[in-house]
Amino acid sequence: MLQQILTQQTKPNQGKLLILKFYKMKNLIYGVSFLALVGVAIISCQKESINPRHNQSMIKNDDDNLQSKVGYYHNEILKVYYTKQHQLPLKEFTEDNIQSKVIEVLTIIDKEKFQKDEILSNINELNRVKKQIGISLLPSNQGLKTTTDNFSIIIDYISVSNELKTKLTLINEAVKNRENSEKILSLVNDLESQTWTINDQAYVDVFVQVYNHSYSYWNNNNSGNKADGDTVILADAAGALYGLLCGPFAAVCSIVEGALFSIIANN
C-alpha cells in the first residue's frame, strides 16, 4: 500500500505528507484495537469476580433457585429427622445439637446442592445479624408456650412493610386464639392473592409455601405429630422467616431455621 502511494505521487513534498498521514492512520487503528481489547478484558474480569453466593439472592424464583423450594426441603428434613436413625435423644436436645443435626440431614438429602461448609457460612452470617439486632436468643426451648410470642418478635424485626406485618399479626393472633385450622390456612393463602413489593413478595412466598408444606406434613397420620398442630405449623413458617433476617432471599438459612423451630416446637 505504501509503495502505491509513492508511485502515484509526482511532487516530493506531497508524497512525504501522504506517508506521514499513512503512519498516523496506522497508529490510530492499532490504538483503537488495543483499547477495544482492554475493554473486553475488563468486562470479562468483572464477570468472573462476581460471587455466585451473594448474587443468587437477587435471582427471581425458578426451578434452579432454592427460594422456590424452601417448603419442599423443610418437609424432607422432617421426614428424615423423625426416624429412629436421626432423631436426637432427649438428653442431647439442645438448640446447637438440633441445628447440627438439621444441617447433617440436609447434606444427606442432597449432597450436590448442600455442602456443610457452605451452610455454616450462611448460618454464621445469620448469627452475626441476629447478634447485631439483639434477637439471638430465639428460638426458645420452651416450645409451644412461646411460639406465638416468638413470631411477634420476628414480625417486628423482619424488613417488610407495615401492611404485611399487620397481616402476619392477624395470622399469629388466629393461632394464639386457637381458631379453626382451615380459617388460619385461608388467611395464610390470602397473602398470595394480594399485590406486594418485590421485597415483601419474597417473604410472602417463603411463609406461604412453608406453612402449606408444614400443614400437609403435620396433618399426615404418619408424621408422628405429638403437639398442637396449628402452633407447630406456625412455628415452621415463623422459623423460615426468622432465617430471612439476613435478607429476603437467604434460602439456606430459611430452610435450616424453619426445621429447627419445628423440631423444638414439636418436642
pLDDT tens digit at each of 267 positions of the chain = 544 444 444 445 544 444 444 444 545 455 545 444 444 443 433 333 322 222 333 333 334 589 999 999 999 999 999 987 788 888 888 888 999 999 999 999 999 999 999 999 999 999 999 888 888 655 555 444 578 988 999 999 999 999 999 999 999 999 999 999 999 999 999 999 999 999 999 999 999 999 999 999 998 856 555 557 899 999 999 999 999 998 999 999 999 999 999 998 887
Q: What does the pLDDT read at residue 35?
A: 45
User: HSE-up of 200 (CA within 13 Å, CB side)?
Assistant: 16
Q: Is the pTM of this model over 0.75?
A: no
Q: What does the pLDDT read at residue 214?
A: 95
Rounded Cα distance between 156 and 199, Å, is: 16
* Number of neighbours of residue 209 by Cβ within 10 angstroms: 21
* Number of neighbours of residue 229 by Cβ within 10 angstroms: 15
Q: What does the pLDDT read at residue 136?
A: 63
Q: What does the pLDDT read at residue 229?
A: 82
- Whether 264 contacts 142, CB under 8 Å: no
User: HSE-up of 179 (CA within 13 Å, CB side)?
Assistant: 15
Q: What does the pLDDT read at residue 265?
A: 87
Does the CA dihedral 75-76-78-84 come out positive or negative? positive
What's phi and psi for 206, nearest 5 deg? -70, -45
Q: What does the pLDDT read at residue 146?
A: 76
Q: What does the pLDDT read at residue 10?
A: 44
Q: What angle do CA 177, 179, 180 make, to 5 degrees?
A: 165
Q: What does the pLDDT read at residue 184?
A: 97
